[in-house]
Amino acid sequence: MLCYFIYYLKSECLKSLSVCYLAIFSFWGMFFPPYSAAENLEYVEFSDAFLRFSVDATRYSEGNPVSPGERRVDIYLNEQWIGRQNMDFRLPSAESKVASPCFDLKLFDELGVDSSKVTAEMLKQLSIAAICVPFNHILPAGNAIFDENKQRLDIQVPQAYLNRQARGYVNPKYWDDGVTAATLKYDYAGYSSRNNESANQTYQYLGLLGGLNWQSWRLYYRSALNRNDAQGFDYQNLATYLERGVPSLYSKLTLGDSNTDGQVFDSLSYRGFELTSDDRMYADSQRVTHQLCEVLPVLRLAWRYANKVNLFMRRRCRPDLLSSMTFIPQVKEAT
């Protein structure tokens, strides 16, 4: 490309001197772009003499203006999405036109910033809600940039200032139980057949799946209603149980009439309680390791078939990574 440009420059300079200068400046601007001094200026003045309408150009003297107030933004830490939450934006001074996001101790804990890297005076200011502390005042080595068009806050923090924890880890105290709500899901099917030789036949099916969420508890209800001309209505209560997570054990607890998951043996209905591990509670990096080869304790109390406690230890391994799959049978039975 450079040889072609030299040949082109030589031929054009022989024709016209102005074209020669234009080609030289174009080449220089292509490979040696001018340094933008505006990146280091804190204040830039704009002239509105060429604007047709009356616009306050001083609003853009410090960059794109950001109005103060509460915004729901997507937070990214070192290009990794952390979550979406409401953040308060305030003006750093009365003359400023660009509002800055306010940080507190809760957000710093969620980001995984090592508190030992922050001064005691700054930690005290972070604990006071009335004080808005810009990010660069807290960690001079870090940076926070807000994109108003995308409602996105990009935070850059060196790894030396972050706690050592698993990728994708979220402190269980920040887990959200959700809102109190009731849900209802249904499916309906029916058909009717007619012919000259036999009587008409009509069949209808209605399945219901209801739920109620309250704090950390979940109530589920599943039933089916069948109807045909020969037997009439037939109602079945398939399952009614309570469920809640147990973060300290990375497990979930089920109470009532339910069914086993059927991952190892056939699914079995029971009345009692069940404690099973929940992979969703693990961090992203731990979840991958946990699924390679894991030992999952299952505690089940079955009243319908036998009044006994069965403790199963099940080891599940991915067959594409390990050559065999090992199961540890029942190790204890107690009446």
Closest CA to 301 of 266, 330, 331, 272: 272
pLDDT at 219: 94
Q: Exposed, middle or buried: residue 205 (CB in 10 Å: 0-12, 13-18, 19+)?
A: middle
Higher pLDDT, 254 or 267: 254
Closest CA to 80 of 146, 133, 157: 157
What CA dihedral angle connects 164, 166, 171 and 172, to 10 degrees?
Answer: -150
pLDDT of 331 strictly over 50:
no
| Domain-located, residue 99 | yes
Higher pLDDT, 11 or 266: 266
| Domain-located, residue 39 | no
Q: Name the pLDDT band for 188 (thresholds 50, 70, 90).
A: very high
CB of 168 within 8 A of CB of 283?
A: yes
| Domain-located, residue 83 | yes
| Domain-located, residue 226 | yes
H or E segment to which residue 281 belongs: none
Higher pLDDT, 306 or 116: 116
pLDDT at 307: 44
Are 65 and 118 found together in one domain? Answer: yes
| Domain-located, residue 151 | yes
pLDDT at 58: 61
pLDDT at 111: 83
Q: Name the pLDDT band for 43 (thresholds 50, 70, 90).
A: low
What is the widest separation between alpha-carbon atoms in the chain? 105
Residue 186's SS3 state is strand
Are 197 and 140 found together in one domain? Answer: no
Closest CA to 270 of 233, 297, 298: 298
Closest CA to 243 of 261, 219, 221: 219
What CA dihedral angle connects 277, 283, 284 and 285, to 10 degrees?
Answer: -100
CB of 10 within 8 A of CB of 23?
A: no
Are 189 and 296 found together in one domain? Answer: yes
For the domain that residue 117 is a member of, what is the CATH number?
3.10.20.410
> Mean pLDDT across the stretch 92-100?
75
Residues 6+ apart with CB under 8 A from 145: 153, 154, 156
Task: Tell me the whole-structure pTM to 2 decimals.
Answer: 0.52
Residue 51's SS3 state is coil
pLDDT at 62: 57
Angle between helices 17-31 and 2-15 (to 10 degrees): 160
| Domain-located, residue 42 | no
Please count the structural domains in the chain. 2
Closest CA to 241 of 198, 267, 211, 280: 211
Which residues are bridge partners to 181 per DSSP?
213
pLDDT of 16 strictly over 70:
no
pLDDT at 11: 56
Q: What is the pLDDT of residues 132-159, one digit of tens each?
A: 877 878 888 888 888 888 889 999 888 8
Show the domain range for 311. Answer: 181-334
Give, rounded to a whole angstrom, the gap between the first and last alpha carbons of the chain: 86
**202 CB neighbour count, 10 Å cutoff:** 13
